[in-house]
Structure 1
Amino acid sequence: MMFDFLFNAFQLGEFLATGLRLSVPLVFAAIGGLICERAGVFNIALEGQLLLGAFAAALGAYLTGNAFGGLAATLFVGAASGVLLAYVSITLRVNQIVVGIAIILFSIGFTSFMSRIAFEGGGNSLMLEGFMPVAIPYLADIPVIGRVLFNQDLLFYLMLTVVVVTQVVLFRTQLGLNIRAIGENPGAADAAGVPVFTLRYLCVIAGSTICALGGAYLVLSQIFLFSDNMSAGKGFIGLAAIVLGRWNPVLALLACLLFGLLDALQLRMQFQHPEVPYQIFAALPYLIAILALVGLIGQARPPAAAGKPYDREMR
């Protein structure tokens, strides 16, 4: 039976662990995009920033021989992509959808070209240093969930920390109130003394850096090499998770977990039914994302100023 694994503790643990690992890049992308949108900047470039983060992680780990070198390179490149997005979207007031698409196309071409220069075999034959799982004593021995939640690597725990910090900052601090204000009504926030442009810059840079960490997870925690287009649509799933999570970090996390588990399920279905074209199963997470978003039309309301350049002279 297709769902027999649900009644086997070991197989269920393996399924949940796989779904969790597949959801981590989605969470980084969703939280990064959510921070940008809460500040009024629509970041459709998540897919490209994941790819840039993955390439930076591979290059940094390759040159330094150390996973932390890859992580440092990812943080730098993610912040740089945020500066570019912020300057073009906020200062030059270019259409944010167009900017995002341009960054995605640039990232695909740039990483593909540079990987052939930087790595032998284009990066497909690398075996990079990465982050290994660290079992938390006693907690890792809990049946099923112990292996799933308490035997993970550094980037997984960093992901959880990012979600908690983002939730607290957005909804429990004055800074978060200001961020939400410039995403809803930047003119009123500006009149109240909130530095709209500075805060938007900081949010876009922070969000882009967090998104790039999702690419670092792919390289440093999952497959330990770089390959072309390895983000594989995860940035777009992250965008769907933002809407499904109603621009709330914890709800976005849960949406990403749903997509991760669906991805793990389709991988299991491919293995159990090799006679069926794998593309049918691979489309499952995207089909669910579309159905979920269609069901939310008219219900989920994005920040009112998201995607709209702010001109102080027009307030």
Structure 2
Amino acid sequence: MSRASRHPFPSGPVCRLPLVDKPFRYETIKSYLRRLTMLNHLPDGELCFYLDGTDELGRDLTRFLTPTNLELLAAVTGYNPARLRHTFPVQESLISADLPFTERRRRALHPQSNPDVLPDPIPACTLCAAARQPRGAKIMQWAPQNQRVCFQHQRWIGPPGRGYGRRQVDLSRTPSIIAAARQHQRLIRRHGRDRAAMFINRSHFVAVDLDDRRIIQRTVDDRLQSLLPEGETVCLSNDDAVTAARYPVAVALATIIASPRWRTQLAAPAHIAGPALRDLTRDINAALRLRHPWTPGWKRCELTEWILELRPGTRLRDLSTLLEQNPPNPCLSEGEDS
């Protein structure tokens, strides 16, 4: 039924829906309304029209996050509005229509996930969602960037979180990805959500760059053999399995570059920056176990670009000169490794 042919809802008391289910953590309102519609066998768009006067939710994801619409949602679900705010927060002073759409969307999301929330909703863990009603419904959520793994069921939930028609990636045979996810949590506790998200994003691009250069290809391929069912292959570089296989490399690198030592010492004069660059090169090669040792002289390398950002005005050949003047000490590296 089109919007023009609909009649407005009658005024007066609102009856609670016969069947309701509590919202999933970080669930989008569109996903929650779709589940309630399926659970109560309502016509498509009925709850959307009830909340917002339109058959479909508009592109502006904050348009129905108002005190009035939250009260309406609480009336049909029977849940306390304060409880619904934990999943669907209402921040009246922060969702002004004068703000850009992307800013309104960011501020309308869960307060705890604002600093590093994923730009698009992703499916929740299918095994966790199986306990919700109706059975088999797909739950979409605004997950924070550190929520890459379901630790309970050992599943990769994103990003990208699409799966391209396959089941979510099973991580039970790749404990290194589970360990990387726990290290990601420790990074957040140590450096905060904002800085941890920045380091992980930078490291992700470095991992993609190293994989494209075929430097970590063997490591990624070994993990893919454990992640994919027998006989199945991937042909897209942003597939869930490929992203999961690169994830430990990104976390290991983020753990190194997150140290405040590099930001201060690499920006210092040459007699301080030289030894720091030597130590950074040694730590990266030891942690990532690269097929070919990385050096700051690589052209069009994300790691090199990061170092050049810390040293404005420095040229690429200047980094090579700094490293030649302060070569790594093999004896020191062996002593530390032992």
TM-score normalised by length of structure 1: 0.24
More relative contact order, 1 or 2 (CA 8 Å, 6+ apart): 1
Larger radius of gyration: 2
TM-score normalised by length of structure 2: 0.23
